[in-house]
Amino acid sequence: MAKSLTETENVRKSIFISYSHADSDARAELVKMMTPMAKHLGIEVWSEIQIAPGAVWKDEIGKALDRAKVAVLMVSSDFLVSDFITNNELVPILQVARNHGLKVLWIYLRPCGVRYTDLADFQAAHDIKTPLSKLSKNREQVVLEICEKVIDACRS
């Protein structure tokens, strides 16, 4: 029997992070900053590195999306050009966002043509005048503010 929307919303209490492997350092930076906040509130932070060896990766991604209240997309040229991300993560994320209220927050990691994609319809998690890669002085503060927005979105 299919779950009602209310039941599904009650189960949705995690954060799904989508990123290109070329941006693994940025993902690690975000997760390191976000994990203490998420643990304190009982929120799971999930990315594909948690898929166990031998698991069916497409099934694991689907299960993680079913639990997610927020999807964080770490956008760069590598992210946008990845067929894997486009077909196996981005398409399902946007479908769940449109049909079941998944909140999508994206982070402008490096200069890229994001404004020519469907992601341009979604509000970024920070001021995109400057991609994170161009920040030096206040990068940690911006990452902290992004994490706080993600956590707040997961709690609302």
CATH of residue 50's domain is 3.40.50.10140
pLDDT reported for residue 13: 86
pLDDT reported for residue 137: 86
* Low-confidence spans in the chain with pLDDT less than 50: 1-10
pLDDT reported for residue 136: 87
Q: Provide the residue range defining the domain that includes 126.
A: 5-155
Q: Which residues contact 78 (CB under 8 A, 6 or more apart)?
A: 20, 21, 22, 23
Over residues 8-41, the pLDDT tens digits come to: 444 678 999 999 999 999 999 999 999 999 999 9
pLDDT reported for residue 43: 95
Intra-chain end-to-end CA distance of the chain, in Å: 27
* Domains in the chain, number: 1
